């Protein structure tokens, strides 16, 4: 998925107090469950990430449109992505695709997927706390794949400074991550 830097200057999270006009429950559901839905589509059904993104979008769009009918959001969304993925793969009659013939239901994500998603959510919380400079460095280095020289040039640092900062950020991130993981029951 191509990604645009939204706030390269401040690196503040997109919705510290919620997006104006959007019910908090919608945004919360999306940020909390979208990673799980992507993982299920990609890992369980082998759907390419770009296609999986469309499916995730459709599942959430449908949920937002008729949220009043849904009693339990997480399994609804998980069931939704499972149906969407199967429909995408098989392109068969919609009515047949609704009911999963497997027991246990294939919509149940595996333990390893759940663990990965849990890790990701922890990391997201952590990234919200590490400070904007750290976030920017980590983002440029890990996600954008920029070299330390490029980062140094963009930020007017010496390459060595970037490396040291990066190492410290990683150290802080790892330490905070381990602390968060250990404190979980």
* C-alpha triplet 68, 81, 70: angle, nearest 5°: 15
Q: What 3-state DSSP class applies to 142?
A: helix
Identity of the residue, 31 or 113, whose beta carbon is nearer to another protein in the bound complex: 31
Q: Whose Cβ is closer to another protein: residue 25's or residue 46's?
A: 25
| E strands in the chain | none
CB of 151 to another protein, least distance (A): 12
Shortest Cβ 172–another protein spacing (Å): 11
H or E stretch at 49 = helix 49-65
Task: Give Cα 95 to chain centroid, integer Å.
Answer: 30
Taking CB under 8 A as the rule, does residue 174 contact another protein? yes
CB of 135 to another protein, least distance (A): 6
The single residue among 110, 133, 142, 153 that binds another protein, judged by CB under 8 A, is 142
Ramachandran region of residue 177, left (φ > 0), alpha (ψ -120 to 50) or beta? alpha
How near is the Cβ of 59 to another protein at its closest, in Å?
A: 5
155: Cβ contacts below 8 Å, ≥ 6 apart:
136, 162
- Measured CA to CA, the distance from residue 63 to residue 73 in angstroms comes to 9
Instruction: Kindly identify the residues of this chain, within the stretch 7-66, that bind another protein according to CB under 8 A.
Output: 7, 11-15, 19-23, 26-27, 30-31, 34-35, 38, 53, 55-66
x/- letters, 143..172, toward another protein (CB under 8 A): x----x----------xx--xx--x--xx-
| Rounded Cα distance, 122 and 176, in Å | 10
Give the residue with the Cβ less far from another protein, 46 or 143.
143
* Subset of 75-134 contacting another protein (CB under 8 A): 75-76, 78-84, 87, 94-95, 97-100, 105, 107, 116, 119-120, 123-124, 127-128
Nearest approach in angstroms of CB 23 to another protein is 5
Q: Six-digit token pair at 166?
A: 């990066």
């Amino acid at each position: 998925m191509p990604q645009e830097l939204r706030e390269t200057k401040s690196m503040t999270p997109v919705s510290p107090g919620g997006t104006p006009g959007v019910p908090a429950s919608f945004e919360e559901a999306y940020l909390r469950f979208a990673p799980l839905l992507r993982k299920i589509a990609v890992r369980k059904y082998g759907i390419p990430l770009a296609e999986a993104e469309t499916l995730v979008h459709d599942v959430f769009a449908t949920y937002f449109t008729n949220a009043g009918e849904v009693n339990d959001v997480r399994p609804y969304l998980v069931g939704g992505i499972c149906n969407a993925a199967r429909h995408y793969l098989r392109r068969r009659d919609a009515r047949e695709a609704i009911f999963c013939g497997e027991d246990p239901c294939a919509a149940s994500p595996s333990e390893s997927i759940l663990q990965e998603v849990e890790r990701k959510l922890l990391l997201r919380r952590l990234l919200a706390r590490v400070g904007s400079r750290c976030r920017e460095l980590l983002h440029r280095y890990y996600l954008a794949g920029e070299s330390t020289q490029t980062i140094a040039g963009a930020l007017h640092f010496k390459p060595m400074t970037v490396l040291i900062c990066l190492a410290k950020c990683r150290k802080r991130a790892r330490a905070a991550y381990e602390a968060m993981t250990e404190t979980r029951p």
